[in-house]
A and B are shown apart, each in its own frame.
Chain A
């Protein structure tokens, strides 16, 4: 089955700095890619998504890049602020309609004022 590796597990940056979180996946049939944000003690909220046909998505200060050749998905934050401090999870789903998302291990991002 699909396996997703997410790095780094912890990331600490200063306010205004950039941050990059990366996931690699194994299933070449993966088509739908997502990033979820989880604030401390809270549930997961969908942050951004990109589909295999688009490969890039931007919004909310984040950019999602998809490299299908390398099976790599990244979440890029260009100018971090303290409100971005949270855990971030990538999730991958293949075509076929079975509705199963495979999650990465998560990255805890700390933004220091």
Chain B
């Protein structure tokens, strides 16, 4: 069953608190992504991971870090969350060349609110 699972789906945090968003996939995909989605801005790439411990900054990495210790798991960490990090975060995965074929598999999103 091809699936990308995100946890938690909804999260409310106070400014300055740490946030951990987790993503898992069961397709053994090499590449995984974290995007954030904001109204009027579409999806912006935060980080891309090409495999275990092979992570690369996306277009908006500031304020975020990631961890990929197993191929099937990719975590997004916010150290000391800020109110402007309130957003919906999407994880996605793809086979090695998936970014070129367009076949990204997206999770259902994690809605983060930072008060």
Residues of A at the B interface (CB closer than 8 Å) are 1, 4, 6, 9, 31-32, 34, 42-46, 49, 89, 91, 93, 95, 97-106
- Chain A residue nearest to B32 in the complex (CB): A99
**What DSSP secondary structure best describes chain B's contact surface?**
mixed
Chain A residues near B45: list those with CB within 8 A: 100-102
Q: How far is the CB of A34 from chain B (nearest CB, A)?
A: 4
Residue among B35, B45, B104, B108 having the largest count of chain A Cβ atoms under 10 Å: B104
The residue of chain B having its C-beta at the shortest distance from the C-beta of A4 within the complex is B42
In whole angstroms, how far apart are the Cα atoms of A43 and B44 in the complex?
Answer: 15
* Contact A105–B40 (Cβ < 8 Å): yes
Known: A99-B94, A100-B48, A103-B43. A42 touches B102 (CB 8 A): no
Given contacts A6-B42, A100-B48, contact A43 B108 (CB under 8 A): yes
Q: Which residues of B contact A104 (CB under 8 A)?
A: 42
Report the minimal beta-carbon distance from A33 to chain B, rounded to whole angstroms.
Answer: 8
- Complex CA–CA separation, A86 to B103 (angstroms): 19
Bound-complex Cα distance A6 to B40 (A)? 10
CB distance from B82 to the nearest CB of A (A): 22
B107, closest chain A residue (CB): A43
Contact B101 A32 (CB under 8 A): yes
